[in-house]
């Protein structure tokens, strides 16, 4: 269905809902909401609305649905797949005023929050009460919990504790038709009908706008051990991962960084953020694993770390480095968290987020490098390899625009074909958005896509919500 454009009458109706000050048509605000962290895409919305209550969000949707005007929800704007890009223009609903932590329920280990709370703010708030919210995307300092849910964000802790979808019990959602629903109940078990909560997770803002969330929490682990292991090759590092699991260890972090990822991120931390981190990079070292163990008992952690070092004797490693102090641990994680902004600050990139069964990672890394050699791009790989989830940043560097849009996209299709052949799929945590939409048919049967389209139509009969995304 073709969309209608916004006129003065609709602007007045939006103003009547949220107040004059929260209907923003100035260029500066619209430019902020025209892009996210995805490549170099820019799509200008006609207007940005900043509601404060669920009822306001529902009322905005009702008007836009009646007039068939596209609506794109926006959180912290950190999407790497184009989730918050208003590709059809129209209204951006920016959720930044939904920033309250409503309740941290220590008796039930639950918390109720608004979706515009910054992830790290929430992590710290529950930590003060001795509790733990494990999902830990690298963008935690600026991303919003609502966006984390919409994209089912992961991060390093997922390898032991699971991803965002594993921590949500219930949520309030404004539907594109203007109705306001709760998806479930605040309970730990629930077999009551279809699971609308989980359907919303990872739906990328295409089915509804999340207006309140009930999370479950865990007790905070008291101790951790962090080690950095250099390897001669990326494939060798990836082979070691399965061996560590086979020795009976479940790390709370198992992160991979290629040599180029470390070089570019060290440069960025030094030159741009002025918070340098230095690690030795001898010539024969081409990849590192950053491994973390957590728990409450120091002796158990030390025994597990010892087991890991014994396992590693069977691999081509450099000297294993144990982070002793909290500062040393923090600087290793600072390095890891800044790989994406670091690499992206030195070249336009296409960020892939593929995932395979972890035993197939060595084959995947080899295939990516071979495809890069053939097409002529440099790829910088890093990511959550304990989960088999590899981020692949493909660098434009000196390449021409035509090459970037044609040959490189074909090369990416080849990477995805290889991923699927290895039993994997397109995205482990960043979502599909617009970036991976052209490749969905490589991972999905037509029947899957038909079911997804049917679900979309059931929620959003006029297709107004975050159009142009996913499929
Ligand atoms: C990371 C983000 C890019 O792992 O997912 O750093
Ligand atoms: Zn990641």
pLDDT at 1: 64
Q: Give the Å distance between the CA of 392 and the centre of ligand 2.
A: 10
Give CA–CA dist 7/308, Å, rounded.
64
Reported confidence tier of residue 300, pLDDT bands at 50, 70, 90: very high
- Residue environment code for 320-344, b if the CB has 16+ CB neighbours within 10 A, otherwise e: ebebeeeeebebbbebbbbbbbbbb
Q: Which of 120, 139, 164 to mutate to test the pocket of ligand 1 (most atoms within 8 A of CB)?
A: 139
Reported confidence tier of residue 392, pLDDT bands at 50, 70, 90: very high
Q: Which residues fall within 8 angstroms of residue 16, CB to CB, at 6 or more apart?
A: none
> What are the structure tokens assigned to 240, written together?
């070691």
pLDDT at 430: 98
Q: Give the Å distance between the CA of 426 and the centre of ligand 1.
A: 15
Whether the CB of 317 sits within 6 Å of ligand 1:
no
**Distance separating the N- and C-terminal Cα atoms of the chain:** 16
pLDDT at 416: 98
Q: Give the Å distance between the CA of 96 and the centre of ligand 1.
A: 22
Q: Which residues fall within 8 angstroms of residue 287, CB to CB, at 6 or more apart?
A: 230, 231, 233, 234, 236, 237, 256, 257, 258, 259
Q: Which of 155, 261, 428 to mutate to test the pocket of ligand 1 (most atoms within 8 A of CB)?
A: 155
Whether the CB of 391 sits within 6 Å of ligand 1:
yes
Question: What value does the mean pLDDT take over residues 415-436?
Answer: 98
pLDDT at 55: 98
pTM greater than 0.85 (yes/no): yes
3-class DSSP state for residue 258?
A: strand
Whether the CB of 340 sits within 6 Å of ligand 1:
yes
3-class DSSP state for residue 409?
A: helix
Whether the CB of 138 sits within 6 Å of ligand 1:
yes
Whether the CB of 151 sits within 6 Å of ligand 1:
no
| Residue identifier of the C-alpha nearest atom 1 of ligand 1 | 138
Question: What value does the mean pLDDT take over residues 164-177?
Answer: 98
Q: Give the Å distance between the CA of 383 and the centre of ligand 1.
A: 7
- Please identify, by atom number, the ligand 1 atom nearest to the C-alpha of residue 80: 3
Q: Give the Å distance between the CA of 338 and the centre of ligand 1.
A: 8
- Is the pLDDT at 321 greater than 70? The verdict is yes
The average confidence (pLDDT) of the chain is 98
Q: Give the Å distance between the CA of 226 and the centre of ligand 2.
A: 18
- Please identify, by atom number, the ligand 1 atom nearest to the C-alpha of residue 153: 5
- If one counts every other C-beta atom within 10 angstroms of the C-beta of residue 38, the result is 22
| Residue identifier of the C-alpha nearest atom 3 of ligand 1 | 340
| Residue identifier of the C-alpha nearest atom 2 of ligand 1 | 138
- Residue-wise pLDDT for 79-103, tens only, equals 999 999 999 999 999 999 999 999 9
pLDDT at 47: 98
Q: Give the Å distance between the CA of 193 and the centre of ligand 1.
A: 34
Whether the CB of 469 sits within 6 Å of ligand 1:
no
Beta-bridge partners for 226 = 292, 323
% of the chain beyond a pLDDT of 90? 100
Give CA–CA dist 42/46, Å, rounded.
13
- Is the pLDDT at 449 greater than 90? The verdict is yes
- Is the pLDDT at 286 greater than 80? The verdict is yes
Give CA–CA dist 192/445, Å, rounded.
29
Whether the CB of 344 sits within 6 Å of ligand 1:
no
- Residue-wise pLDDT for 348-363, tens only, equals 999 999 999 999 999 9
Q: Give the Å distance between the CA of 101 and the centre of ligand 1.
A: 25
Give CA–CA dist 262/270, Å, rounded.
12
Q: Which of 159, 383, 389 to mutate to test the pocket of ligand 1 (most atoms within 8 A of CB)?
A: 383
Q: Give the Å distance between the CA of 333 and the centre of ligand 1.
A: 12
- Residue-wise pLDDT for 37-64, tens only, equals 999 999 999 999 999 999 999 999 999 9
- Residue-wise pLDDT for 59-69, tens only, equals 999 999 999 99
- Residue-wise pLDDT for 204-237, tens only, equals 999 999 999 999 999 999 999 999 999 999 999 9
The residue among 20, 95, 10, 17 whose CA lies nearest residue 46 is 10
- Is the pLDDT at 258 greater than 90? The verdict is yes
């Amino acid at each position: 269905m073709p969309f209608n454009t916004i006129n003065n009458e609709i602007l007045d109706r939006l103003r009547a809902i949220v107040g004059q000050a929260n209907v923003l048509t100035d260029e500066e605000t619209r430019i902020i909401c025209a892009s996210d962290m995805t490549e170099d895409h820019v799509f200008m919305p006609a207007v940005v609305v900043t509601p404060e209550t669920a009822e306001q969000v529902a009322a905005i949707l009702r008007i836009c649905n009646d007039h068939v005007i596209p609506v794109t929800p926006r959180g912290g704007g950190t999407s790497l797949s184009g989730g918050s890009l208003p590709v059809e223009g129209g209204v951006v609903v920016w959720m930044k005023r939904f920033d309250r932590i409503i309740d941290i329920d220590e008796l039930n280990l639950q918390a109720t929050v608004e979706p515009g709370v910054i992830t790290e703010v929430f992590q710290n708030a529950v930590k003060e009460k001795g509790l733990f919210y494990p999902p830990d995307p690298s963008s935690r300092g600026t991303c919003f919990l609502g966006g984390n849910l919409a994209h089912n964000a992961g991060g390093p802790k997922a390898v032991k504790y699971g991803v965002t979808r594993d921590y949500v019990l219930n949520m309030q959602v404004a539907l594109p038709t203007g109705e306001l629903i709760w998806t479930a109940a605040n309970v730990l078990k629930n077999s009551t009908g279809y699971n609308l909560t989980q359907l919303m997770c990872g739906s990328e803002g295409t089915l509804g706008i999340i207006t309140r969330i009930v999370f479950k929490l865990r007790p905070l682990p008291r101790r951790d051990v962090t080690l950095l292991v250099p390897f001669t090759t990326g494939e060798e590092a990836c082979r070691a991962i399965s061996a560590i699991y086979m020795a009976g260890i479940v790390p709370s972090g198992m992160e991979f960084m290629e040599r180029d990822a470390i070089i570019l991120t060290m440069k960025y931390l030094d030159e741009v953020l002025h918070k340098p981190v230095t690690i030795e990079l001898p010539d024969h070292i081409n990849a590192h694993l950053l491994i973390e163990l957590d728990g409450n008992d120091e002796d158990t952690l030390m025994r597990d770390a010892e087991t890991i070092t014994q396992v590693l004797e069977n691999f081509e490693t450099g000297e294993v480095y144990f982070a002793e102090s909290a500062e040393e641990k923090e600087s290793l994680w600072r390095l890891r968290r800044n790989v994406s902004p670091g690499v992206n600050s030195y070249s336009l990139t296409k960020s892939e987020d593929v995932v395979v069964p972890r035993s197939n990672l060595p084959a995947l890394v080899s295939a990516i490098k071979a495809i890069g050699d053939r097409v002529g791009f440099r790829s910088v790989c890093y990511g959550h390899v304990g989960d088999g989830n590899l981020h692949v940043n493909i660098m434009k560097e000196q390449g021409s625009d035509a090459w970037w849009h044609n040959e490189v996209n074909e090369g990416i299709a080849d990477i995805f074909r290889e991923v699927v052949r290895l039993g994997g799929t397109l995205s482990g945590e960043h979502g599909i958005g617009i970036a991976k939409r052209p490749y969905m048919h490589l991972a999905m049967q037509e029947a899957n896509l038909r079911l997804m389209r049917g679900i979309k139509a059931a929620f959003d009969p006029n297709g107004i919500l975050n159009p142009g995304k996913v499929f």
